[in-house]
Amino acid sequence: MKITLKDGNVIEYSEPLRVIDIAENISPGLARNACAAIVNGEEKDLRYMIEEDATLEIVPFGSKEGNHAFRHSSAHLMAQAVQHLYPAAKFAIGPAIDDGFYYDIEFEEPISQDDLPKIEEEMKRIVKEDIPIERYILSREEALKWAHDEGEIYKVELITDLPEDAIISFYRQGDFTDLCAGPHLMSTGAIKAFKLTSLAGAYWRGDEKNKMLTRIYGVSFPKKKDLDEYLERLEEAKKRDHRKLGREMELFTFMDEGPGFAFFLPKGMVLKNTLMEYWRKVHDRYDYKEISTPIMLTQDLWETSGHWDHYRDNIYTSVIDDQAYAIKPMNCPGAMLVYGAGQHSYRELPLRIAEVGLVHRHEMSGVLHGLMRVRAFNQDDAHIFITIDQIKDEVENVIHLIDEVYKHFDFKYHVELSTRPEDSMGTDEEWNAAISGLKEVLEKIGLPYEINEGDGAFYGPKIDFHLEDSIGRTWQCGTIQLDFQMPRRFNLEYIGADGERHMPIVIHRVAFGSIERFIGILIEHYAGKFPFWLAPVQVKVLPVSRNTQDYAQEVMTLLRSRGIRAEIDDRDEKIGFKVRSAQMEKVPYSLILGQREAEDRTVSVRILDEGEAGVKALDVFVDEIANQA
């Protein structure tokens, strides 16, 4: 048989061989690092027997498939340890995830964080024993019998739900056996470095009606160094946590009096206003008009829009003069009313109506998370009214706008196309037309995308923008949604070239998404060290002593007159102290002003994280910096 490797080389063998043997044959190093294999495009085990011509890629840790196998085996390793320590534990599912693995387990007695080291110790012991992992197959009856005999009620359910023709495979390592599709490593010895990171509740099958199981999360790596690096990255993320920086930098806060409702402090407001100033400039250039609609509107309106049916659980309500009102969870109905209030000609379209609207949504208490997940936030919304022929051009136009905005913050991003959810309005034809329209645009401009099945809005499909921050995490921010439903429900129309009434189509879109969340992301992306134009305080003026305070005051007044956000630190402290405190406040520029500078009318510049940047003439520095802003 001929084996075609990834690099195109072909090796011939006279008899069937396992993947691991072929790897060994190619090089012992390859075999040592191998985690799994891709045979004819399918993920397989290293113990998979190749019997005829095939393409073969042997994947090490570091590849997606390799990591998957490694982490999955780690989950089994943990399960084995748990079984040793808690024989009564029942196992549900234990998959690999992007950063590690978890296993959902039902314990007789609840366990706590303090029990994790004990489990880690047992895992270490099992790793040291280097127990071979074996794979075998059972018939459905045999598999069910095993699960019943073991009392593994969750496995019984899993086996029962497997499709008719499924191959039911098991993996055994010593005294531990688990139902599993694999692939897995060859033995437990490879899992050299791991850590159980957290403990959490998780519903069986993710359904809140089901029993809550205990989920243990862990990470694992072939080398200790990799684990250390991973833990360092976690530390870095912790340092950048916007909740911590937001407090330290006095940007925003939360109070018990309004859980999930952010309070913006003066410096946070500067940030927010600066951000919105930029946003308005961009949107003006792209020919958007801005409106503002009420936060509270009658309940009837939300019944008309469909929100009452589809979004009721999240809507806050109130009563005014015996009339039921809803506090808006979205801006669209307001925009529909504005459009509907006047007559429109096809000549006006595309009509781009933006609204930075404050929406309120009742989120479950357990999901609140700093600025990332709140109960009231501003959406940088816009509703674009177009004819059916304008869909592609306009979607493309919006994509360009969003692209421009993200690049401005040095974000990379990828897009996903979300299709029809279960709970939705409209006909299949409309949905299919809308989805294929969006696909065409993405393909036309060559933007790669993934499909996110069933994740669209209830009124139409959407393109979601997931941006990637400076430490590699992704966040969903922008979306573009195509909507045939709202225009119909609100009887919107425009007069066409033919003099007849036609129904426009609406594009809903946001670029930042939620201003609050975007600010949270920016804080973490920049680790609080905002670019000059965005920094709440841009320049800190530091007189060396009392003697140079007048000059420092003059410099600050000049900076402010040029629109630069400057503050003076005229405390009676040593210059080292003031420098340190300016650096800790993460102010981009510090100006050290002593006797020499005052006499020569210069400034000694210090740049955040870069240190001393030389002495410059005052007016030269001010000109330079005013251009940056």
Active site residues: 332, 361, 379, 381, 383, 462, 508
How far is Cα 436 from Cα 399, in angstroms, rounded to an integer?
A: 16
How far is Cα 19 from Cα 45, in angstroms, rounded to an integer?
A: 8
Region at 603 (left for phi over 0; alpha for psi -120 to 50; beta for the rest)? beta
SS3 content of the chain, % helix, strand, coil (to 5): 40, 30, 30
Shortest distance, CB of residue 423 to RNA, whole angstroms? Answer: 8
**Residue number, 173 or 590, with CB nearest to RNA:** 590
**Residue number, 192 or 369, with CB nearest to RNA:** 369
Shortest distance, CB of residue 363 to RNA, whole angstroms? Answer: 5
**Residue number, 95 or 151, with CB nearest to RNA:** 95
**Region 89-128 residues binding RNA, contact defined as CB under 7 A:** 110, 112-113
Per CB under 7 A, the list member of 2, 223, 596, 601 interacting with RNA is 596
How far is Cα 483 from Cα 606, in angstroms, rounded to an integer?
A: 52
Burial of 23 (0-12, 13-18, 19+ CB in 10 A): buried
**Residue number, 155 or 360, with CB nearest to RNA:** 360
Report if residue 572 touches RNA, rule: CB under 7 A. yes
* Eight-state DSSP code of residue 5: E
**Region 258-277 residues binding RNA, contact defined as CB under 7 A:** 259-260
Site mask, RNA, residues 505-534, x = CB under 7 A? -----x--xx-xx-----------------
Look-up of token digits 């500078």: 597
Cβ atoms of residues 6 and 13 within 8 Å:
no
**Region 183-222 residues binding RNA, contact defined as CB under 7 A:** 198-203, 206, 208, 212, 214-215
**Region 344-403 residues binding RNA, contact defined as CB under 7 A:** 361, 363-370, 372-375, 377, 379
Shortest distance, CB of residue 474 to RNA, whole angstroms? Answer: 11
Give backbone dihedrals phi and psi of 431, rounded to 5 degrees, phi first. -60, -45
Cβ atoms of residues 100 and 219 within 8 Å:
yes
Which of 455, 378, 466, 371 is closest to 421 using CA atoms?
A: 455
Per CB under 7 A, the list member of 225, 239, 285, 574 interacting with RNA is 574
How far is Cα 399 from Cα 405, in angstroms, rounded to an integer?
A: 10
Question: Which of the stretches 152-160, 219-227, 239-247, 441-449 binds RNA when contact is defined by CB under 7 A?
Answer: 239-247
**Region 396-435 residues binding RNA, contact defined as CB under 7 A:** none
**Residue number, 133 or 457, with CB nearest to RNA:** 457
Report if residue 247 touches RNA, rule: CB under 7 A. yes
Region at 28 (left for phi over 0; alpha for psi -120 to 50; beta for the rest)? alpha
Question: Which of the stretches 28-36, 42-50, 430-438, 568-576 binds RNA when contact is defined by CB under 7 A?
Answer: 568-576
Per CB under 7 A, the list member of 193, 282, 594, 629 interacting with RNA is 594
Region at 446 (left for phi over 0; alpha for psi -120 to 50; beta for the rest)? left
How far is Cα 150 from Cα 187, in angstroms, rounded to an integer?
A: 23
**Region 532-551 residues binding RNA, contact defined as CB under 7 A:** 544-547
Give backbone dihedrals phi and psi of 227, rounded to 5 degrees, phi first. -65, -45
Applying CB under 7 A, the site for RNA has a residue count of: 72
**Residue number, 103 or 146, with CB nearest to RNA:** 103
The token duo for 8 is 């195109």
* Eight-state DSSP code of residue 329: S
Region at 331 (left for phi over 0; alpha for psi -120 to 50; beta for the rest)? alpha
Shortest distance, CB of residue 89 to RNA, whole angstroms? Answer: 14
**Residue number, 30 or 97, with CB nearest to RNA:** 97
Shortest distance, CB of residue 481 to RNA, whole angstroms? Answer: 9
**Residue number, 352 or 375, with CB nearest to RNA:** 375
Report if residue 472 touches RNA, rule: CB under 7 A. no
Per CB under 7 A, the list member of 2, 562, 580, 601 interacting with RNA is 580
